[in-house]
Amino acid sequence: MTTPVAEAAEAEGTPGRAEGTSRAGRVAGWVETSLLAIGVVLLAVSPKPAMMGDGLARYQALIELLEQRHLPGTPYSMIGPLFATPLWAVGRWYGNTQIWLVQYNYLLFMLGLGAVHALLQGRLAARPLRRLLLLLVGASMVAAHVQDFYGEVFTVMAVGVGLLAVTLPDTRWATRAAGWVAVVLGVANTPGTIVALGLVVGVLCLLRRRLRYLAALPVAAALIAGEAWWRFGDPLHSSYAGHGGGATVMPYSGEPGFSYPFLLGLVAILFSFGKGLLWFTPGLFLPVRQRLRDAGPGLWTVWLLWATFVAGLVLLYARWWGWYGGMYWGPRFFLFAMLPAALALAVRLEPERASPWANLATLLAVALSVWGAANSLVFSQLRPWTCYENNYHLEALCHFTPEFSPLWYPFVETPELTALQRGTLAFYALLLLWLAAPLLGRLARQVTATLGAHRDRLAWRAWRW
């Protein structure tokens, strides 16, 4: 037996329901569009904390450049912050630049969502496209990243949308050119990601038997070197390698830079309770090749390039001494993983034939993703201070111990919630119910069918002492 929510959510696209499908499809479209709108509003109206860490450093560098006319010595790239100049101008007009610039990453995310919708409209069916956008808003870790002036959102949106533009078939030349420009700008904003770009263009060359994609590498390198020359007078200048990147102390007895044991960093990035991608982007680990190929042309290639970029980030930061991203909610350096994770979940939620174990894996991934999104918006400022006392002496507890992980710490110490926070949690509960109901319905039918097939074995009369 399925619930009314499950029937409404699953009926669209189900053969044999001609009259009901249209009605159920309209209801599903209205519900998902409403949930998407509410999620977007909640991201906008949730109180933003004071700027901190790298976000504050980037803000101060932009102010130094635009107001004091002095080239900043910050180790972080100024490419992303420079695109926030219009917001700075508005802030100057109203007398408070910080409250305007703190909205920058939120606006970038909204522009990125609009670009994803525009590029995939007509190439991906309406239902999975809505779900992709809904998952990015309400089932990803983006909420913790749109509340400050950090640089990850610019790189994610520029590279992610850019790769989408250059990969999808039948796009115009101008669209592909703009996509490559965005990719190069996004990589230059985080120079280390040129390693991930190298893997991506290598995969593109193999898939399409063209070497021209390699040109993106020297262009990105030239932009990185050009900025270093402009600010420091040396195209090879790199002050970030010896910088803490927002972290305060080293997590082990080593030196700053790429000195962390590679294997330990790899395992920690993938599986640690406080920063591991398995817990924060579980959709990334689900098999989706055939589903994406059936969903639309070019979608499997898009997912492959996105996942390859994530793999490049993992390989890059596995040896970085501050792989955990400092005192920050979740795996800060790996925000990009939300793109392939959301796309995977969007197609796996479609009502196709799947085994009970596949449906159960999708259900668990959806539940964990929605909880992570709710946690990042409501509890991101709830910190177990035991990890940070005595000059961060026990910081590793927050990275590796479940009860100190930001995902589970709210169950250990539940704070007093405001009315807005309670309403936000209610929204995420409704979102989870909507996304999980079809999966629960499928699992219920499969379990019922399995029990029916073994009815004789399970009957009490068949049992003897």
Given a cut of 70, whether residue 2 has pLDDT beyond it is: no
Residue 452: phi, psi to the nearest 5? -65, -35
| CA 279/CA 151 separation, integer angstroms | 23
- pTM for the whole thing? 0.90
| CA 385/CA 405 separation, integer angstroms | 12
Question: In b/e form, how buried is each residue of 173-199, taking b as 16+ CB within 10 angstroms?
Answer: eeeeebbbebbbbbbbbbbbbbebbbb
For residue 459, name the pLDDT band (cuts at 50, 70, 90): low
- Indicate left, alpha or beta for 298 from its phi (over 0: left) and psi (-120 to 50: alpha): left
* Per-residue pLDDT at 380: 86
Question: In b/e form, how buried is each residue of 213-225, taking b as 16+ CB within 10 angstroms?
Answer: beebbeebbebbb
Beta bridge pairs of residue 121: 124
Total residues belonging to the chain: 465
Of 388, 422, 421, 428, nearest in space to 404 by CA: 388
Of 253, 235, 400, nearest in space to 324 by CA: 400
The amino acid at residue 315 is L
Spell out the residues 6+ positions from residue 455 whose beta carbon is closer than 8 angstroms to its own.
Answer: none
| CA 156/CA 68 separation, integer angstroms | 30
DSSP-based three-state secondary structure for 95? coil
- Tokens of residue 80, six digits: 């992303």
Given a contact cutoff of 8 angstroms between Cβ atoms, the answer to whether 64 and 165 are in contact is no
- Tokens of residue 286, six digits: 């689900």
- Could you write out the three-class secondary structure of 204-216? HHHHHCCCHHHHH
| CA 148/CA 53 separation, integer angstroms | 9
* Per-residue pLDDT at 453: 73
Give 171's DSSP letter. -
Predicted confidence (pLDDT) per residue in 55-105, tens digit = 999 999 999 999 999 988 888 999 999 999 999 999 999 889 999 999 999
* Spans of all domains in the chain: 52-380
For residue 161, name the pLDDT band (cuts at 50, 70, 90): very high
Residue with tokens 């940070």: 388
Predicted confidence (pLDDT) per residue in 6-56, tens digit = 444 444 444 434 444 578 788 889 999 999 999 999 999 988 888 888 999
The amino acid at residue 416 is E
Residue 280: phi, psi to the nearest 5? -95, -30
* Per-residue pLDDT at 461: 62
pLDDT above 70 covers what percent of the chain?
90
Q: What is the mean pLDDT of residues 435-442?
A: 93
